[in-house]
Each structure stands twice: as C-alpha cells, then as structure tokens.
Amino acid sequence: MASSAASGLLGRQLKQMQSDKDIPGISCGLVANNIFEWEVMLMISDDCKFYGGGFYRAHLIFPPEYPLLPPKMTFKTPVFHPNVYPSGEVCISILHRPEHDPYGYEHASERWSPVQTPETILLSVISMLSGPNDESPANVEAARMWREDPKEFKKRCRANVRASLGED
C-alpha cells in the first residue's frame, strides 16, 4: 500500500518539476520508466565558484516508504567535493534518515522530513556545491584540499566541469 501511495506522490512531483519553469538548471526524468528511480541533470550556473558551467548527471533512488524515508542521490558524473563520496553518493543532512544522530553532529530538524521534496533536495545539492561542509566529510581528500590547498581544489573541480561538458 505504501508503495502505491509513494508512486502516486512521485508521479505528481515529477510532473510538477517537469512543468515548473521557475526552477532553472534542473531537468528530471525516469530511469527505465521506473517512478522510484529518477535521472537528474543539474546545469550549474556560472556564478558557482568551483562547479559553474558544469552539467552533472545524477540518480535519485526513492524507497517504497517515501516520503517517510529519504531517497539516495548519486552523481553519475564525477564530482570532487567534500560532501560527495568517491562513489558519487551525496552526503547531506536532509538525505539522512529522520532519527536521532548517534554522533550528535546533526539536529533532528536538519535531517529528512516528509515535507522535503525532490525539488528541495536538488536545490540543497546545488547550494552544497557552492558551500561545502568540511566538518563531517564524505570525501576526506576533498575536504583536506578545500581547507589546505584551495588552488588545487579549484583545479580539480574545474577538471570535473570540463569532463562534465565532454571536453576531457
């Protein structure tokens, strides 16, 4: 039963995102006609210091319990970032399960809530690209470079941008 409610909600949310012209730089569609797996394209505006001008492909995988549980987001285009695991999986608070953080790092209000939508997730990810959180990194090398060698960090990010455009 939960799965059919989730699929109906996701269908409405996808239709809304595809028809909403107020969300620049985000394009969504289904993977293999599966409402629980979306392919997303993020076209990052030029004003984003490190990733500007890039086109990043990602997948959002929604659980049958959505919206009670968060989806998982994984970049398919390489992204060198403190909050993106080397595997491409995105690590931000709103994608963490809505339960008490045993490490005490995140407040419950920062974690997943059923009021979040694919749109709020994607806007948060775009914001994350502009302002990494290096205090609890998913990619330790990227976090270290962000803090200690910003010039090299920018160089690595710009290489990702070129690769996202098919220039490498």
Residue 99: the pLDDT is 73
In the block, tokens 């962000």 appear at 146
Q: Could you give the residue numbers annotated as active site?
A: 91
Domains of the chain, first to last: 2-164 (3.10.110.10)
Averages of pLDDT over runs of 10 residues in the chain (168 residues) are 83 91 85 96 90 96 96 97 97 85 67 91 93 88 95 95 87
Q: pTM of this prediction?
A: 0.90
Contacts of residue 20, Cβ cutoff 8 Å, sequence gap at least 6: 119
Residue 107: the pLDDT is 66
Residue 1: the pLDDT is 46
Residue 7: the pLDDT is 94
